[in-house]
Amino acid sequence: MKFSIDALYNWYRNTIRNPKYRWWVIGVSLFYLLSPLDISPDLFPVIGWIDDGVIATLLVAELSQVLLDKLKAGKTTETATNTETAQATTPNPPIEVEAVAMK
């Protein structure tokens, strides 16, 4: 069995699209950043910071995706409501156009 980074990434992206799993990733990453236990301790100057940076990047990416999804849902609901209100109050009158032959 061959290990592929692309396969791992595709699995991750497909799994994270489920909102339940997205909240699990956010919660676990917050727990990891706040807990004193690390995969690589911060005693090693650069290596110890890399894992925290990756987890923090993951946390920010997932939180921003959640916020963007909520904003998009709010805008589509607001736009649909405004369109329905506008159509209900003012019906579109027919537009009459006269055709003129040009030489």
| Residues 86-102 pLDDT 10s | 555 666 777 888 878 88
Per-domain residue ranges for the chain? Answer: 5-89
Instruction: Copy the structure tokens of residue 59.
Output: 């946390």
**Backbone φ and ψ of 96, nearest 5°:** -100, 130
Helix, strand and coil content of the chain, in percent to the nearest 5, comes to 70, 0, 30
pLDDT at position 1 is 53
pLDDT at position 81 is 66
pLDDT band at 12 (very low <50, low <70, confident <90, very high): confident
For residue 52, give the nearest of 73, 75, 29 by alpha carbon: 29
**Mean pLDDT (whole number) for 2-15:** 79
pLDDT above 90 covers a percentage of the chain that reads: 10
The pLDDT mean for the chain works out to 80
Instruction: Copy the structure tokens of residue 80.
Output: 């649909």
pLDDT digits (tens, 9 = 90+) for 63-75: 998 899 889 988 8
Which residues are CB-contacts of 19 (< 8 A; sequence separation ≥ 6)?
none
- Which is more confident, 82 or 3? 3
Instruction: Copy the structure tokens of residue 101.
Output: 């032959």
The C-alpha atoms of residue 35 and residue 65 are separated, in whole angstroms, by: 24
